[in-house]
Structure formats: structure tokens, C-alpha cells
């Protein structure tokens, strides 16, 4: 009789092993791009290259002593401007109250450098600059970090999509011949890290110190995925006939 408890990846036919391996490799590559995207999006939040705790604090908690526009044009949005002069014009306009009469000083800069993303359907559609009132509103705000509405979007997308990925890689890992207690720990590890990471985004919004657990959670989830990936592939293709344990 076929007993699922005793089934091991090693006894899959070649076609089954190929399916699992290709799935893991594709998810692995996707995961690398996902981390790369994260790095490129946030590593310059503090204006310097390289992901640091300060980047995470600025992204989630913000810089309460600074206007949002100044903070962004020092960090992630700096690359979208051609010159320091344009940067100063935008910041000065904002600091002087983003007045309608002076909008002509900056309108051209915004149309040329910002509108392609900051519009409906653009990459930054959550902060459109199509109307003066919207520009003025965004430019005169204090940097309070990621808005709650965006944090909700980011959280549900990540929790559901990465949770699904861990469920599928976990379903493969379930049939590796390792010790049951270790297996339980390694199955909980990625989900625990993901929750630590995402809950810490919210906590960092309130208290900057939680940037540490954002970073730790992120690093742990990568390690957790790598461990499952390596053990699954190695034991699946091992020639040794595994006994169920």
C-alpha cells in the first residue's frame, strides 16, 4: 500500500524530479530578482549606496524633522533629476509653502522629470503630480515614512505571494528524508521570518529600532529558502535509496 508519510522525493520518477527542480530553480531566480529589486528601491533612501538600517528607518518611519520632498530628493528620487539647481528649486518652492503663483518656477522640472511615474497608471500612481493641488499637498508634507495605505498594499501582496511560495517549496521539502523535528523547525523558519519581516515594517513605522528586525527577518527568510532549496535538490537527486524515517 502507498503510504504518503513514507514517500520520499528520491523515489519520484525523473519527470517528477524535473518538475520539482525546475520549479525550485525558477522560484529561486525569481527570489533573487525580488531581493535585487528591494535593494535597488531602498538602498539610496539615505542618499548613500548600500542597504543600511538608516535606509529602512527613513523608508518606514520617515524623517519627522524634514519635508517629504527634501528627504526623497536626497534619497530615492535624487536620480530622477539632472541637476542640483533643479533639486534646489523644487525644495525651495516646497519650503516657501508650494505657492500657486510660483508654480511656474518648477512646473517644467516636474513635467520633464517626474510625471512619467507620478501619474495615473505610472509606477508612482499612489502619489500623482497631475494637478497643482496634488503636487502641493505631497511636497509640503512631512516625511512620515510609507503611508499606511501603501503599507497595507505592500503587506498583503508580500504576505500572500511569498506565503504561497513558501507553502509550495515547503510541500516539496516535506518529502525530504531528514529528521522530523529538524524538518518541523525548517518548515516554520521561512514563515516565521516572513512574519517577523512584515510585522516589523509596521513596528518600524512607530519605533525606528524595529528596523533591526526588518533586516533580520529579511535575511532569515533568504537563508530559510536556501536551506530548503539545497536539501530538497540534493536529497531528491541522491542515488542512495532512502528509507522512510
Site residues (vs ligand HEC, CB under 6 A): 68-69, 72, 76-77, 80-81, 90, 113-114, 116-118, 123-124, 127, 138, 147
* Closest distance of CB 75 from ligand HEC, Å: 7
Q: Rounded to an integer, what distance in angstroms lies between the CA atom of residue 59 and that of residue 61?
A: 6
Q: First CA to last CA across the chain, in angstroms? A: 17
* Closest distance of CB 187 from ligand HEC, Å: 33
**Cell 528591494 maps to which residue?**
38
- Render 26-83 in DSSP notation, one character per residue: HHHHHHHHHHHHHHHHHTTTTSSSS--HHHHHHHHT-EEEEEHHHHHHHTTTGGG-S-
Of the two residues 138 and 169, which places its CB atom closer to ligand HEC in the complex? 138
Among residues 26, 122, 110, the alpha carbon closest in space to that of 69 is found at 110
Q: Rounded to an integer, what distance in angstroms lies between the CA atom of residue 227 and that of residue 229?
A: 5
Q: Rounded to an integer, what distance in angstroms lies between the CA atom of residue 216 and that of residue 196?
A: 8
Of the two residues 68 and 236, which places its CB atom closer to ligand HEC in the complex? 68
* Closest distance of CB 71 from ligand HEC, Å: 8
- φ, ψ (nearest 5 deg) of residue 84: -65, -30
* Closest distance of CB 80 from ligand HEC, Å: 4
Of the two residues 86 and 197, which places its CB atom closer to ligand HEC in the complex? 86
* Closest distance of CB 60 from ligand HEC, Å: 11
**What angle do helix axes 53-60 and 211-237 make, rounded to 10 degrees?**
110
* Closest distance of CB 122 from ligand HEC, Å: 7
Of the two residues 77 and 136, which places its CB atom closer to ligand HEC in the complex? 77
Query: Which stretches within 117-245 are classed as H helix?
Result: 132-139, 148-173, 180-206, 211-237
Amino acid at each position: 500500500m502507498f503510504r504518503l508519510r513514507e514517500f520520499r522525493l528520491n523515489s519520484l520518477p525523473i519527470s517528477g524530479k524535473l518538475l520539482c527542480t525546475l520549479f525550485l530553480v525558477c522560484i529561486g531566480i525569481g527570489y533573487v530578482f525580488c531581493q535585487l529589486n528591494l535593494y535597488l528601491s531602498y538602498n539610496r533612501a539615505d542618499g548613500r549606496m548600500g542597504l543600511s538600517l538608516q535606509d529602512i528607518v527613513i523608508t518606514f518611519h520617515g524623517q519627522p524633522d524634514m519635508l517629504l520632498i527634501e528627504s526623497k530628493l536626497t534619497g530615492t528620487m535624487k536620480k530622477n533629476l539632472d541637476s542640483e539647481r533643479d533639486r534646489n528649486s523644487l525644495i525651495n518652492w516646497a519650503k516657501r509653502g508650494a505657492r500657486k503663483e510660483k508654480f511656474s518656477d518648477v512646473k517644467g522640472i516636474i513635467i520633464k522629470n517626474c510625471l512619467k511615474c507620478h501619474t495615473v497608471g505610472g509606477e508612482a500612481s499612489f502619489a500623482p503630480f497631475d494637478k497643482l493641488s496634488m503636487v502641493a499637498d505631497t511636497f509640503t508634507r512631512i516625511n512620515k515614512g510609507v503611508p499606511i495605505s501603501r503599507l497595507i498594499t505592500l503587506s498583503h501582496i508580500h504576505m500572500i505571494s511569498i506565503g504561497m511560495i513558501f507553502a509550495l517549496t515547503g510541500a516539496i521539502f516535506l518529502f525530504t528524508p531528514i529528521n522530523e523535528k529538524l524538518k518541523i523547525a525548517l518548515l516554520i523558519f521561512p514563515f516565521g521570518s516572513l512574519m517577523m519581516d512584515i510585522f516589523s515594517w509596521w513596528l518600524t513605522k512607530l519605533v525606528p529600532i524595529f528596523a533591526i528586525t526588518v533586516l533580520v527577518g529579511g535575511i532569515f527568510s533568504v537563508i530559510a529558502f536556501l536551506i530548503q532549496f539545497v536539501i530538497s535538490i540534493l536529497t531528491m537527486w541522491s542515488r542512495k535509496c532512502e528509507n522512510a524515517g
